[in-house]
Structure 1
Amino acid sequence: MTNNPIAAVAASILALGLTLGVTPAMAAKMDVTIGMQLEPPNLDPTGGAAAAIDEVVYANVFEGLTRFGADGSILPALAHSWEISEDGLTYTFKLHQGVKFHDGSDFDAEDVKFSLDRARADESTNAQKALFADIASVEVVDPATVKVTLSKPNGSFLFNMAWGDAVIVAPETAADNAAKPVGTGPFVFAEWVKGDRVDLTRNPDYWGDAVKLDHVTFKFISDPTAAFAAMMAGDIDAYPAFPAPENLVQFEADSRFLVINGSSEGETILAMNNKKPPLDNILVRQAIAHAIDRQAIIDGAMFGYGTPIGTHFAPHNPAYVDLTAQSAHDPEQSRALLAEAGVSDLTLSLKLPPPSYARRGGEIVAAQLREVGINVDITNVEWAQWLEDVFKAKNFDLTIVSHTEPMDIGIYARDDYYFQYGDPEFKAIMADLDKATDPAKRTELMQAAQKKIADDYVNAYLFQLARAGVINAKLKGIWPNSPTQANDMTGVYWEE
C-alpha cells in the first residue's frame, strides 16, 4: 500500500501492461471460416455423391484406413501399416489402438469389417460402390488387425481406400451420419445451420497429432458477388475454390490476401472420336494437337487460371510426367501433318457442354484450328444432350470436357468409352498396373500409360482445371492443390 499518487499511477500502468501482455489479442487466432459455393445435401460421405460432403468432413470428421496427402500420395490413417501377400490378393492392415469415435465408443477391427461389408453389400447406397467390388471377404484377426481378401489383384486398392466413400464408421451411429456425423477425426461435428454453415470443434480426445484450430466454420455462399464482399470484409478467412476467377486479380492487388492457383483432378481435354475418319488417322490427331495454344485458352477462357497438361494425369500427382512439349503449339507442323495425311478442306463438328471452360474454350479452339485450315462447326448442347449424343451415342468429332475423377487414366482402356481408343498395348499396361503393388513399379507403369496416350495423340490435352482460390495471407496450411474433394483443416493454422 502506498500513499504516493505518482507511484500508484505507475503501478496501475505496469499492471495494465502486464495484463495487455497476456490478452487474447497477442495470442494466435484459433478459429477459421471457410467459404464454399455449394452446401452439402448431407454429411455422410458413404451415402452421397456430392463433392461438397467431402469438402466438409474428409480428414476433418471422418477417416479411412488410408488417406490422400496434399500431393495426392497415399498415406496411413487409421491403419498405421499393412502387408500385401505375394499374389496381391490379401491386405493385412494393422490398426492404431486407443482410437475412439466422437461418441466415446472404441474403434477397432470390427468397425472396419462393418464399414467395408456395408459399402459393398447388395443394398449399399455408396456412390462409389465400384471401389469395393474386388473385395471377396473381410476378416477380423484381432481388435487391431483386419485382413481383406480380394477376388483378383487390384494395385489401386490402397488408393481406393483413401476415398471419402471408404471412411470407417461405427454401426451404432452409421444410420444418423447424414445429419449428425460421428467419426474418429480431429474435429467433432457441432452444428449444421441449414442454408448457412456447418460448425466443427476440436476433438480433445483425438488419437493422432493435435490440430491447431479450436473451431472451423464452413460458410455456404453461392453468389459470387456476396462471396467477394464477404472476403473483402473479413467475414471469410479462405475461399479455396472461389466462384468468380475474374475477381481474383483484385485480391492479388491487396496485401491482406493470397491467391492460390493450384490444380484439381479435372483434366480438361479436347476429346477426339478416334474411330471416325479422318480422326482415325494419328497424323490428323497430331495436327490438331499442335494447332492448340494451351496458354491462350487458359488466359482467354479461364482468366489465366489452369495448368497446361500434355497427357491425362494431374500435375500434382507424384507420378506425373510433363509431356506438354510433345504437343507444343506449332501451326506450321500442324499444316505439314495435314498435308502428309492427305487431308484438306476438313470440317469437324465441335459439341460443347454448358461449363464456361467448354463454351469459352471452344471458341478459342475453333479459331486456332481454322488458322491451320480446319473448319469447325460449333454446337452448344446441354448436359443431357451431351451425355446422350456424345458420351453414349459417340455422335461427334470433337468435344471439350473436364474429367474430374481422381487418377482416371484407366478410362483409356475401355473399348466402349466415348473417344473410342481401347489400344491393346495401353490395356496391357493397365492390366499390369492392376497387378502391381510395389510403389516404384506402379509409378513406372503410370508414367508409361501417360506416355502411351500422348504418343498416340488420343486427345488434345488442354489444362488441369484450376483450384483457384483466395485466403487470408496470415492463414497457413491450406492445400494449394486438390488431389481429392476436400478442405483438409488438419494442418491449418494462423501465423502469429
Structure 2
Amino acid sequence: MPMRTRLGSALLALVAGTAIPATASAGDIVWARYGDIDTLDPHRATSTLSLQVWSLIYDTLLATDKDGKPVPNLAESWEASPDGTEYTFKLHEGAVCHDGTPLDANDVKYTVDRAFDETNPSVTKASWGPIEKVEVVDPTTVKFTLEKPFVALIPFLADSFSSIICNSNEGKDGFGTSVAIGSGPWKFASWTKGDQIVLEKNPDYKNFGKLADNPGAPYEDRLLITTVPEPQARLAGLKTGAIDVAEPPLDDVAMLKESGDLDVVTAENTGQNVFFEFAVHRPPFDDVRARQAVAYATDPEAAISLIYGDLSMPEQCPISRGVFGNDQEFCAKHRPQYDPEKATELLGEMGYAPDKPLEVNLLVWTGGKRDKLAEVFQAQLAAVGIKADIQMMDIGTMNARVRQENENPEGKGSMDMMTWSWYDPDILYALWHSPGAYRGYTSPELDAMLEKTRVLTDQDERRKAVEDVMAHLLEKAIHVPLYTPGWEWVFAVRPEVEGFKVAPFVYPIFSDVKIADKD
C-alpha cells in the first residue's frame, strides 16, 4: 500500500512530545485529539472522549436524526404496551459482530443484563430506567419489561451509552482495553494508552439508521485516533498534512475561517451544559443566599464572549439547547440574573464585606481555555466580595474531588464549574435525584418532582414537570447554568478530506470520509 506523506511528524514530536505516525498509509484517516479515552467499555465511563470512540465501534438499537430525535437503527421497529411497561423491539437481519457472529436478540439481552449486573453495574445504570427483565422472544425479537413507565428509554436507546456489546466479549480478558467486539463501522485493532487508537473498517457493516450517507463499510481503511495535547502541535500537523481532522487552537479559529486553508466545522446541538454547583452540606453554601450571591455576581455572557467569542453561547437552563424542555425565556425568569448589587446585599446579610470576603475554592477541569474563563469569573466574584481560589485538575480527578467535598461536613467552602452532556432532560434525574451523582444537594421534594419527569407520557405534561424541576434548581441556585455547547467542539479539517460531519451530541462521523490527492 502506498505511504501517505507525513512531513509534520518530526515537528510535532519536538513541539508536543507526541509523534504522529510517519507510516500512516494511503487509506488512513488521522484524527488528533487533546486527550485519551478512559475505556472502550460503554458501561465504565462517561467522558465525551471515550464515547466518541466507542460510538464508532459499537452500534445501537436506535439512532438519532439530524435534529437529535430517535429513529430506527438495529431495531427496525418497536411497540410499547398501553401502560408503558413493555417494549418489544424487532431487529434487522444482517447485522454482524466484528468476529463474524450475527448480532441478534441474545446480544441485546447480554448488554442490558451486564448493565444491571449486581456486582459491577454500568455507571449509567439509572439511565436505562427501571428495567426488570429482558427476554429473547426469537433471534430478531427482544422484549423489555419495566417496573413502571420510563419515557426516557427510547431516547436513551439512541445514544452511544446504550451501545450493544456483542456477547462474544464475555469471558475475554482485557475487554475495554485490548478487546472490544461490536458491530459498528470501525473494528478495534489496538490502543496504546496516551498515544494512539487504531481502528480498521468493518467490511460487513450495514448502516440501518445512523446519520451517514454511506450505507455500508467506511470508504477509508483505517482511522488513527492520536493524542496530541498541545493545540499548536495539532495545528502544525493539520497544516503539513500529518493530521486530517483535529480540534484547532481556539484563538486561531477566526483566522482559519478567514484564510480558508482548512475547513472549520463547529458542532451544534451538543447537549452539553456548563454550570456552577456547590458543596451544600457545610458553610457557606448550605445557605441559599451564598449560592444565589454567586449566581448574581457572575456574568456568563460577558465571560464567554471575552474567551470564546461566538464559539459558545450563554445558557439559562439546566439542560442545553436542543434538549426537550429547554426554554431560554422560561429559565431566565427563574435564574438569578447578573446583579452585583444584589450579590453584595446577600453577602452582607451573611456577615461578609469587602474587608471580610467570603473565601472559597473553585474547582475547574483542564482544557478548552477553561482556566482563562475561570479567571474572568474569579474577577467577577472578587468584585462583590467573594475570594475564589481556582484549582485546576483533570476531569477524572475533579469528579472524585467534587464527591469528596460533598461528603466532607467541614472545611473551606467549595464550588466547581462542572460539565455534563445528555440528550434528554433525564440528565437532571441523574444529577439531582437522591443520592445524587456527586452526593450533593438532594431533597424529598426535588426527588418527587424528578420522578414525575420519568413517567409522564403526555409530552405537554412532561414538559411542565421538567419546568417545575428547572425552576426549583434555578431559584435555589443549586444548578447555576453558564454556557453551551460546553466543550467548544470545533473541528479543523484538511481540504482534501471530504464527507466529515458531526452528529448531534458531538459524535464525529467518519463513514462518509474520502481523502483525495494521496501521495
- Alignment TM-score > 0.5, same fold: yes
CA distance, structure 1, for counterparts of residue 351 and residue 295 of structure 2? 15
Q: Which of the residues 260, 263, 282 maps onto 1:258?
A: 263
Q: Which of the residues 234, 238, 242 maps onto 1:227?
A: 234
Report matched runs for 1:376-387 at 5 Å: 376-378=387-389, 380=391, 383=397, 386-387=401-402
User: Structure 1 163/393 Cα, relative in aligned 2: closer, same or farther at 3 Å?
Assistant: farther
Following superposition, the deviation at residue 150 of structure 1 comes to: 2.0
Following superposition, the deviation at residue 417 of structure 1 comes to: 6.8
Report matched runs for 1:265-414 at 5 Å: 265-273=271-279, 285-301=291-307, 305-323=311-329, 325-326=332-333, 327-332=336-341, 334=343, 345=353, 347-353=357-363, 355-356=365-366, 359-371=371-383, 373-378=384-389, 380=391, 383=397, 386-387=401-402, 390-393=405-408, 395-406=411-422, 408-410=427-429, 411-414=431-434
> Residue deviations 1:279-319, cap 9 Å, x none?
56656644432321213322455576433111221223243
Unaligned runs of 5+ in 1: 1-28
Following superposition, the deviation at residue 472 of structure 1 comes to: 3.6
Asked if the contact 2:206–2:216 (Cα under 8 Å) also holds between the matched residues in 1, the reply is: no
SS at match of 1:461: strand
Report matched runs for 1:85-484 at 5 Å: 85-124=81-120, 126-132=122-128, 134-175=130-171, 178=176, 179=178, 181-185=180-184, 187-189=185-187, 191-192=189-190, 194=192, 195-201=195-201, 203-204=203-204, 206=206, 208=208, 210-211=215-216, 213-215=218-220, 216-224=222-230, 225-239=232-246, 241-242=247-248, 244-262=249-267, 264-273=270-279, 285-301=291-307, 305-323=311-329, 325-326=332-333, 327-332=336-341, 334=343, 345=353, 347-353=357-363, 355-356=365-366, 359-371=371-383, 373-378=384-389, 380=391, 383=397, 386-387=401-402, 390-393=405-408, 395-406=411-422, 408-410=427-429, 411-414=431-434, 421-422=441-442, 424-439=444-459, 441-464=461-484, 465=486, 466-472=488-494, 475-479=498-502, 483=505
CA distance, structure 1, for counterparts of residue 292 and residue 119 of structure 2? 46
CA distance, structure 1, for counterparts of residue 144 and residue 58 of structure 2? 21
Following superposition, the deviation at residue 88 of structure 1 comes to: 2.8
Following superposition, the deviation at residue 255 of structure 1 comes to: 0.1
Asked if the contact 2:201–2:217 (Cα under 8 Å) also holds between the matched residues in 1, the reply is: no
SS at match of 2:57: coil
Asked if the contact 1:285–1:459 (Cα under 8 Å) also holds between the matched residues in 2, the reply is: no
Asked if the contact 2:186–2:202 (Cα under 8 Å) also holds between the matched residues in 1, the reply is: yes
User: Structure 1 376/64 Cα, relative in aligned 2: closer, same or farther at 3 Å?
Assistant: same
Following superposition, the deviation at residue 429 of structure 1 comes to: 2.5
TM-score by length of 2: 0.74
Matched, 1:55 2:55: no
TM-score by length of 1: 0.77
Equivalent position amino acid for 1:192 in 2: S
SS at match of 1:111: helix
Bigger drift between 81-90 and 191-200 goes to 191-200
> Residue deviations 1:13-52, cap 9 Å, x none?
xxxxxxxxxxxxxxxx987432233344654435666654
Matched, 1:76 2:72: yes
> Residue deviations 1:383-435, cap 9 Å, x none?
47834652321645452322325252222333667695435554332111121
Asked if the contact 1:192–1:198 (Cα under 8 Å) also holds between the matched residues in 2, the reply is: yes
Following superposition, the deviation at residue 214 of structure 1 comes to: 0.9
Identical counterparts, % of pairs: 21
User: Structure 1 155/491 Cα, relative in aligned 2: closer, same or farther at 3 Å?
Assistant: farther
Asked if the contact 1:43–1:57 (Cα under 8 Å) also holds between the matched residues in 2, the reply is: yes
CA distance, structure 2, for counterparts of residue 331 and residue 271 of structure 1? 19
Asked if the contact 2:245–2:494 (Cα under 8 Å) also holds between the matched residues in 1, the reply is: yes
User: Structure 1 249/31 Cα, relative in aligned 2: closer, same or farther at 3 Å?
Assistant: same
User: Structure 1 175/231 Cα, relative in aligned 2: closer, same or farther at 3 Å?
Assistant: farther
Asked if the contact 1:467–1:480 (Cα under 8 Å) also holds between the matched residues in 2, the reply is: no
Residue equivalent to 1:21: none
> Residue deviations 1:432-461, cap 9 Å, x none?
112134555444433443333223333432
Residue equivalent to 1:488: 509
CA distance, structure 1, for counterparts of residue 321 and residue 377 of structure 2? 22
Asked if the contact 1:298–1:306 (Cα under 8 Å) also holds between the matched residues in 2, the reply is: yes
Asked if the contact 1:154–1:435 (Cα under 8 Å) also holds between the matched residues in 2, the reply is: yes
CA distance, structure 1, for counterparts of residue 158 and residue 288 of structure 2? 37
Query: Of the two, which has the highest radius of gyration?
Result: 1
SS at match of 2:168: coil
User: Structure 1 74/440 Cα, relative in aligned 2: closer, same or farther at 3 Å?
Assistant: farther
